[in-house]
């Protein structure tokens, strides 16, 4: 058993999606630390990568992951689309053991949260799936925790991430979650946010930026229940690339606590996490079209619904039509 201290709820929430560490280049069942590592920045055999398409290596990885799942569990394989296999291949960069673990973890999460789709996507299902996802996210938006979702358009090449998610950690009060069902509502919404952020191959590769408002975080924001009910989702489960996590208005106590926990946080989370950012810095970094009104941007509840609907529509269309 580890002697490392437990992370606070906010630290856990910040790391829910920040799970992508450096991983091996070639598919292998061996442990990662026995392999050759790269950061995916150009050590592939593909000379120039078109991020809207899979590289030759990624196609090979995806097909091997698919073959392994089909051989191991035909029923589970029927619930996974080719886009899903491609996504696991992109994020794991060739670590077959990690890809298999993520697939099984995500399958477990979906089963435990019965409201999440567990079947492969058909074109006729898309409108129903989008509506279901929107309803789930809107439930958590009402609590104030999910603030906005923005999607970076192609005409904004200076932004490295494909989506911008804003969360209000101050409004996250775990003591208001009285039952496992209420925790399921929260984590199901986060799952669908991940789906919206991963609409296309390009989106999956570019990843997401997450902005967290940490103002007034205090004792009431801490609970171990977030690990009890959500660990299946954020411990090597959903395959998403996080480009950065920017924490705004961080109280001194929050930064002090993070300094204590930092040695126990993954190298990737440490790399992408920025403490003590300001609204002006965020405004300089992102278009106002992708920032919430809370940060003096243009996204309100209605605008977020429009952006989420478009992103989820594209996500499920891609799931229904993409072939390896």
Q: What is the pLDDT of residue 6?
A: 45
Spatial contact of 90 and 288, defined as CB atoms under 8 Å apart? no
Give just the sign of the alpha carbon dihedral 29, 89, 198, 291.
Answer: positive
Report residue 323: phi and psi, to 5°.
Answer: -130, 140
Identify any residues that bridge with 275 across adjacent strands, giving them in sequence order: 247
Cα 187 to chain centroid, rounded: 11
Q: What is the pLDDT of residue 267?
A: 72
Alpha carbons within 13 A on the beta-carbon side of 298: 10
Q: Give the ranges where the chain is alpha helix by DSSP (H).
A: 9-14, 56-72, 74-77, 82-92, 96-112, 126-141, 180-196, 201-206, 225-234, 252-261, 267-272, 279-285, 301-321
Among 83-87, 146-150, 181-185, name the one with the lowest average pLDDT: 181-185
Report residue 277: phi and psi, to 5°.
Answer: -70, 165
* Residues of the chain above pLDDT 70, percent: 73
Cα–Cα distance between 80 and 65 in angstroms, integer?
Answer: 11
- Of 35, 12, 10, 7, which is closest to residue 23 (Cα–Cα)? 35
* pLDDT 10s digits, 237-285: 899 998 888 988 887 767 776 676 666 666 777 788 888 778 888 888 8
Spatial contact of 73 and 315, defined as CB atoms under 8 Å apart? no
Which whole number is the average pLDDT over 128-146? 93
Q: What is the pLDDT of residue 317?
A: 93
- Of 109, 245, 257, 251, which is closest to residue 117 (Cα–Cα)? 109
Q: What is the pLDDT of residue 82?
A: 96
Spatial contact of 141 and 292, defined as CB atoms under 8 Å apart? no
Number of domains, the chain: 1
As a whole number of Å, the CA-based R_g of the chain is 19
Q: What is the pLDDT of residue 93?
A: 93
Report residue 123: phi and psi, to 5°.
Answer: -55, -40
Crossing angle of helices 301-321 and 82-92, in 10° steps, is: 100
Output DSSP code: residue 227: H
Find the CATH number of the domain harbouring 324. 3.40.525.10
Spatial contact of 197 and 163, defined as CB atoms under 8 Å apart? yes
* CA angle centred on 212, ends 210 and 218, rounded to 5°: 150
* pLDDT 10s digits, 35-91: 222 233 333 444 457 888 999 999 999 999 999 999 999 999 999 999 999 999 999
Domain that holds residue 87: 1-324
Cα–Cα distance between 76 and 69 in angstroms, integer?
Answer: 7
The pTM score is 0.81
Crossing angle of helices 56-72 and 82-92, in 10° steps, is: 120
Grouping H, G, I as helix, E, B as strand and the rest as coil, residue 273 is: strand
């Amino acid at each position: 058993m580890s002697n490392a201290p437990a992370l606070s709820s906010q630290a856990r929430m910040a790391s829910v999606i920040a799970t992508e560490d450096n991983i091996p280049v070639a598919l292998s069942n061996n442990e990662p630390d026995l392999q050759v590592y790269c950061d995916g920045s150009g050590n592939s055999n593909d000379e120039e990568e078109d991020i809207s398409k899979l590289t030759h290596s990624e196609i090979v990885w995806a097909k091997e992951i698919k073959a392994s799942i089909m051989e191991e569990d035909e029923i589970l394989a029927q619930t996974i689309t080719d886009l899903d296999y491609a996504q696991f291949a992109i994020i794991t960069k060739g670590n077959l053991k990690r890809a298999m673990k993520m697939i099984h973890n995500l399958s477990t999460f979906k089963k435990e949260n019965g409201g999440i789709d567990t079947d492969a996507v058909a074109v006729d299902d898309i409108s129903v799936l989008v509506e279901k996802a929107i309803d789930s996210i809107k439930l958590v938006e009402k609590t104030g925790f999910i603030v906005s979702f923005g999607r970076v358009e192609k005409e904004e090449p200076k932004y490295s991430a494909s989506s911008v998610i804003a969360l209000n950690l101050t409004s996250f009060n775990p003591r208001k979650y009285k039952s496992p069902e209420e925790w399921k509502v929260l984590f199901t919404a986060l799952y669908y946010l991940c789906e919206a952020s991963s609409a296309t191959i390009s989106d999956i590769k570019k990843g997401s930026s997450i902005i967290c408002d940490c103002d007034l975080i205090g004792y009431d924001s801490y609970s171990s229940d977030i690990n009890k009910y959500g660990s299946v989702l954020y411990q090597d489960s959903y395959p998403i690339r996080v480009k950065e996590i920017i924490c705004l208005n961080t109280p001194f106590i929050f930064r002090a606590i993070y300094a204590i926990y930092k040695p126990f946080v993954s190298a990737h989370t440490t790399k992408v996490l920025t403490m003590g950012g300001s609204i002006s810095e965020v405004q300089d970094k992102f278009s106002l079209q992708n920032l919430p009104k809370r940060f003096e941007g243009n996204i309100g509840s209605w605008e977020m619904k429009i952006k989420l609907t478009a992103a989820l529509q594209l996500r499920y269309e891609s799931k229904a039509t993409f072939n390896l």
